[in-house]
A and B are shown apart, each in its own frame.
Chain A
């Protein structure tokens, strides 16, 4: 079956670095997406990885290892506004997105 696993909740301190992990098992693979979702709002796109390696975009970076079925989202210099849920989604061979349940990130001062 198809499955996405990510931690339910994480806590980090303002100014620190946090890594949110995601493992996936999908029928075929056409890329891995990360979305940010603030409470009561729609998800917004953060990153897309289809090749192995690290993609850096400002304070946020995303890593992919296709052989391990593994990705992580790295957030640096954490700010209070980064408190949100982070959704991992894998795209299968039919270009359908399989979504994880999301990781709720709590930032403390």
Chain B
């Protein structure tokens, strides 16, 4: 298992600003992911955070809008840049601790509201 700490847990942001979300895991993990979950909708994968190299982004998500850092095997950040109200969502950090088919563990999420 893995214990994942995410912060901030929630924030209210102004349009045009940027916010960085931090994710700390209590053990070294190979696979770390960032998801978005808009109200009443499914989880959408933003990107896979790769240690020591650029993140791998899913279709519809770009590095300029969602820059990701992963300096080591226990920590990652996601920045939501130049925010608009459409970015209001829950952002979730998740990790897989064993193999390609192991279960995903999730952080408690960061609920962002953009005014």
- Contact partners of B45 in chain A: CB under 8 A: 96-97
**With contact pairs A41-B108, A42-B92, A42-B109 given, residues A48 and B103 touching in the complex (Cβ less than 8 Å):** yes
Who on chain B is nearest to A91 by CB? B101
**With contact pairs A42-B92, A42-B107, A43-B106 given, residues A99 and B42 touching in the complex (Cβ less than 8 Å):** yes
- Contact partners of A12 in chain B: CB under 8 A: none
Could you list which residues of chain B lie within 8 angstroms of chain A, going by C-beta atoms? Answer: 40-45, 92, 100-101, 103-109, 111
Could you list which residues of chain A lie within 8 angstroms of chain B, going by C-beta atoms? Answer: 4, 30-31, 33, 40-45, 48, 50, 87, 89, 91, 95-97, 99-102
Who on chain B is nearest to A95 by CB? B100
Q: In the bound complex, how far is the Cα of B10 from the Cα of A40, in angstroms? A: 11
**Does the CB pair A101–B41 fall under 8 Å?**
yes
